[in-house]
């Protein structure tokens, strides 16, 4: 039965990822767009892991085909990675806070306390740096600016999404659904072999 539970989580995880994937094409730049069928094909191939060679290679190809420059494709693939891991931090923060509030001491506070503080401080510092440093980097140019500007522009796109939660509720919720379904599938898969977390 645990394997059926794993299989049952694949469709919601896929739908969540599909919903979360859309902003990499239309966030802050209406000129980059692909139709639903192409997006479905790219997400299916990347989600299955058969054609993706890591580092968002498949996503970059799709973005270039949709009209993005090489740099813009790099920014948007970096944004997708930031969105994936940034959204994953939210349930981790809530779980760690719940463990601390409930008095459960396994894992220790040396593990849970950093999970409550770290992501919140990280988001605050990251977004502050994005707002303050990004314009200066673009003004100065040069080799270092070219290297630093891609992650800063990606962070700017994520920050733009975070500042308009109503407009971006679907992709943010989609990423949460993706991760929760994925984690439940992992939990059920481990339970199938007798390890019940």
Mean pLDDT across the stretch 21-50?
73
What pTM does this model have? 0.81
Provide the CB-side half-sphere exposure for 139 (13 A, CA). 5
Least confident of 54-58, 138-142, 175-179: 54-58
- Cα separation, 131 vs 122, in Å, equals 14
Per-residue confidence at 197, pLDDT binned at 50, 70, 90? confident
pLDDT of residue 15: 92
Retrieve residue 124's tokens.
């605050």
| pLDDT (average), residues 32-44 | 79
| pLDDT tens readout for residues 94-135 | 999 999 999 888 888 999 999 999 998 998 898 888 888 888
pLDDT exceeds 60 at position 52: no
Which of 90, 94, 66 is CA-nearest to residue 178?
90
Most distant CA pair in the chain, distance: 59
Binned at pLDDT 50, 70 and 90, residue 40 comes out as confident
Contacts of 45 (CB under 8 A, 6+ apart): 51, 52, 58
Tokens standing for residue 37: 């069928």
């Amino acid at each position: 039965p645990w394997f059926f539970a794993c299989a049952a989580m694949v469709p919601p995880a896929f739908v969540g990822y599909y919903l979360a994937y859309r902003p990499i094409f239309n966030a802050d730049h209406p000129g980059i767009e692909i139709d639903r069928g192409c997006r479905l094909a790219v997400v299916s191939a990347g989600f299955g892991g058969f054609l993706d060679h890591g580092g968002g290679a498949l996503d970059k190809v799709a973005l270039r085909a949709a009209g993005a420059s090489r740099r813009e494709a790099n920014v948007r693939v970096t944004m997708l990675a930031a969105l994936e891991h940034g959204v994953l931090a939210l349930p981790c923060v809530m779980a760690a806070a719940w463990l601390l509030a409930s008095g459960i001491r396994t894992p220790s506070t040396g593990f849970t306390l950093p999970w409550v503080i770290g992501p919140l401080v990280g988001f605050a510092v990251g977004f502050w740096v994005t707002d303050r440093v990004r314009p200066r980097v673009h003004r100065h140019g040069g080799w270092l600016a070219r290297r630093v500007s891609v992650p800063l522009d990606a962070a700017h796109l994520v920050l733009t999404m975070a500042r308009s939660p109503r407009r971006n509720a679907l992709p943010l919720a989609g990423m949460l659904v993706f991760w929760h379904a994925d984690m439940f599938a992992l939990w059920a898969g481990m339970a199938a072999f007798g390890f019940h977390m």
